[in-house]
Amino acid sequence: DKKKLHTAPVGQVFRLRPFHVLVATGGGYAGYRKYEDYKLEQLEKRGIEVPVKLASEWEVALYKSVPTRLLSRAWGRLNQVELPTWLRKPVYSLYIWTFGVNMKEAAVEDLHHYRNLSEFFRRKLKPQARPVCCVHSVISPSDGKILNFGQVKNCEVEQVKGITYSLESFLGPRISTEEMHFSQAPPGNSFQQQLVTKEENELYHCVIYLAPGDYHCFHSPTDWTVSHRRHFPGSLMSVNPGVARWIKELFCHNERVVLTGDWKHGFFSLTAVGATNVGSIRIYFDQDLHTNSPSYSKGSYNDFSFISNNKEGIPMRKGEHLGEFNLGSTIVLIFEAPKDFKFNLKAGQKIRFGEALGSL
């Protein structure tokens, strides 16, 4: 009456187990970090200054072990599934309640109109909901929260207060002179100096975080011409302020699309940074762009020039539709302007598309 035990070969067991343990450990640690971020946010709301504590290399590696790219692709497919009419209002209402979405601003307020989550995320606004500032030359390209802003110094950009990343690592190697409309600085200068075309100008930056409940489209922040696109495949770690305060050079790790060109004062760039469940970054005039592709090559980037066949780039008007995320993420502006340019912002403030960022 003895029962026979059937066991799998030892080789098969150990061939699968390390991956599952790594994913489970990484996922658990990511959940723990989310809880820590929540506690930090509560302290900030009470006005208590939170000391900076950077992640170690092993913590970053552990976070990267979570298959966020695969999960984001799965989330994207799930968002495309058409919901039954009777289920749409309960699902969207739960999302609205969770993230504080203001549906009175939506062009279509009827929740039954949106066939799937993807359509709901990309909902359009009423024209009068976001008036574009006509007085100032640079406006916010999206709704969101101002994480940081100011001058770029020593080729370093502030991610959040006290946490910086390399300007060159973020934008990638300098684009060839033929693809830019203005004269270039001598090649012997620093990367930052090569971007600035006039001695009386400085390089400025502004970081805007889009939360899941924010309007997910982004627009042109000024009148400029886009001459080049650079796509960096990368990780899809969360970019919420807590993680941005924890992981140095977070924006350099994550997948991003860098648009560069020029405006009336010289160099101008807008970078859309991907995040967890935001592997899809869409640029309306760039149909060849495909983000979060399975053919991911670490450390690579793909260039595309909009200056060809006698074209002088893609002209964009201030406030014009530029692109969209599938969920919240981050936009980084890096641009050249005269030394008397002043930001009219406070770190941590909420801002809406169309409102002024600064003035001359």
Q: Model confidence over 323-345: pLDDT tens digits? A: 988 777 899 999 999 999 999 88
Note if 321 is an active site residue. Answer: no
3-state helix/strand/coil string of 158-190: EEECCEEEEHHHHHCCCCCHHHCCCCCCCCCCC
Largest CA distance in the chain: 92
Q: Distance (Å, rounded) from C-alpha 360 to C-alpha 341?
A: 5
CA torsion, points 83, 89, 95, 98, in degrees to nearest 10?
-150
Note if 183 is an active site residue. Answer: no
Cβ distance 272 to 331 under 8 Å?
A: yes
pLDDT of residue 285: 92
Query: How confident is residue 42, by pLDDT bands cut at 50, 70 and 90?
Result: low
- Check pLDDT > 50 for residue 19: no
Which residues, other chains included, contact 44 with Cβ-Cβ below 8 Å and sequence gap of 6+?
50, 348
Q: Distance (Å, rounded) from C-alpha 114 to C-alpha 88?
A: 8
Q: Higher-confidence residue: 185 or 307? A: 307
Nearest partner of 268 among 225, 318, 311, 322, judged by Cα: 225
pLDDT of residue 46: 65
What is the arithmetic mean of pLDDT over 134-157?
89
Q: Distance (Å, rounded) from C-alpha 58 to C-alpha 328?
A: 27
pLDDT of residue 120: 87
Please tell me the number of Cα atoms within 13 Å of 92 on its side-chain side: 27
pLDDT in tens, 258-303: 999 999 999 999 999 988 766 678 899 998 888 877 766 666 788 9
Q: Distance (Å, rounded) from C-alpha 166 to C-alpha 156?
A: 5
What is the arithmetic mean of pLDDT over 164-181?
75
Give the DSSP letter string of 142-158. SSEEEEEEEE-BTTEEE
pLDDT of residue 145: 92
Query: How confident is residue 43, by pLDDT bands cut at 50, 70 and 90?
Result: low
- Check pLDDT > 70 for residue 246: yes
**Per the residue annotation, which of 140, 142, 216, 219 is the catalytic one?**
219
**Per the residue annotation, which of 72, 137, 220, 329 is the catalytic one?**
329
Cβ distance 335 to 264 under 8 Å?
A: no
Domain ranges of the chain: 138-173+191-359
Q: Distance (Å, rounded) from C-alpha 105 to C-alpha 134?
A: 21
Note if 265 is an active site residue. Answer: no
**Per the residue annotation, which of 143, 214, 262, 286 is the catalytic one?**
143
